Structure 1
């Protein structure tokens, strides 16, 4: 009998089982008694610790809702989230808190919310909001008000948010490509749309408009956002583009590094060199971006600063017993590597790598 089995039998999360078996606060008394009764009846071998009355456990809950789009079931192994979680846990530990992790299947959102809320109604929560809508976050906050939302933002919700400055990052990418002389630029978007991606698209389009160009519909490509391998659908889209325009784009901006790595592999299969034939920029600066060949030019996201800001905001609110609707944007920076180059132009029949101005 494992903790996962007890969690299923009690219809609670694994985190709740851990709290009950270790005598820690953070769940209701009825839930605790139900878990302990099931564990006892099932002959659970681990020693059950009685709750320590009057002792305030310093714990934070990291809550994620998983689906098959962006935040996968094993999201803690996805490069971006893996780094974010690592920094979050380290910051919590430095402030004397332990971090509990709980993930919920989006397919049973409303039912799971009730269970999580019953177990954690008074808990301090870092909610991973990456793939959540405004309505979903509002519903969660109504049941678990002591929270900070990480990695998204809805300006009209009176809640604390900590988000990447997505608009700025994509603006930086478009400006860089334009500065290298690229005018025939493609935009490779995720097929799964979230708040962050929409903000990146706005920032990219804004930069191009200010520079006197635009992003026409044929220059928009769509791919799966969490695939690191060659994508046949992208090859088909590129072929259609070339047939219509007579050539490939000279540069591609990708909404995240996963997409960029997949794009580089797909271009290689088509016999196209990066950056000799097409320059590529990603977004996030995950650790894998320096493993791919060539090393990926990307937008660096301050994941440690995101985590530190969220933890500090949450722990300060706990200490002061006051949760206010603070919105924090964390700026990005440009990370130049080897996947971008000035556009090749022809001068008197000879090709050079000077950028057009």
Structure 2
């Protein structure tokens, strides 16, 4: 076989995924990519080091139409699901924590109000949240109940025409900077959701410090000490666990797409490094073992890209099922974290600093691997679909 040289193809372009997208979808993706390149990438290493998230990004995301972008009405952008997925790819190519902010704002907090809320709740919150002038969070997970939300201990009891909320929530993205929290609690009527302004007496949020993952993201514990809410705070159209689980499926689609961006960024970072890093008088990209790593990772990347596009089209067609979401979340996050770790090996010692993205992505993906459904939970969801038998308990 003859040797030769050719212009390298970026990993994300190998299968010409662009040909599967509409002109509008590509334009939204490219606009988001430019914003990330200009406004996030130059600073993300420092934000990660310092463990900070710049709150002012919310308004900039709102100006770009990234908040609640796949929701219609109430000053929301109303794009299709595929466009939202592509935006998530570009945001997570910069950092998972940044994408997580947008996902929680739009697919958890805003979606819950949009799907289950009253007209008054929608008019009060959605326009401000779409503009980034109000930040939302989603309170479901508790210190002792994550994968089993049916065991939640947070309660809401009636007191005349009001509700009294007590309990706590843990690992809540955006909690410490939120203006409003969508909180799920056990009542005499079953699981119900409440729209809780964070300035309500008895509400408090304490940020989680000393994180090794998702450092450019706010993660908090929420506490409710006799928080008095009017009857109008309840989400009228959410009954039981179907409410929060429906919102989680919305957010999981963003994860399925977003982690593809993180994986792509890792491979392209390793590509660039391998083409310039010289060992034994030639770039390490010219060694067979390096090319084996790049080839294997890129094959998994393009399969994840195709899966994300397929699920996006299914979501827009109204045929997306929870099992399909589980397949996407299980596969794409698992492959993305393996890609990030392998890319770090190509970078060698240079890969342990925030100057290069793969180890930062790998650390972030450790959280993505377990939040909104662990690997095990999604595997059992797929197993249940294949066998008809529930192996969760």
| TM range, smaller chain | under 0.3
TM-score between both structures, scaled by the size of structure 1: 0.25
Larger Rg: 1
Q: Tell me the TM-score normalized by structure 2.
A: 0.24
Higher helix share: 2
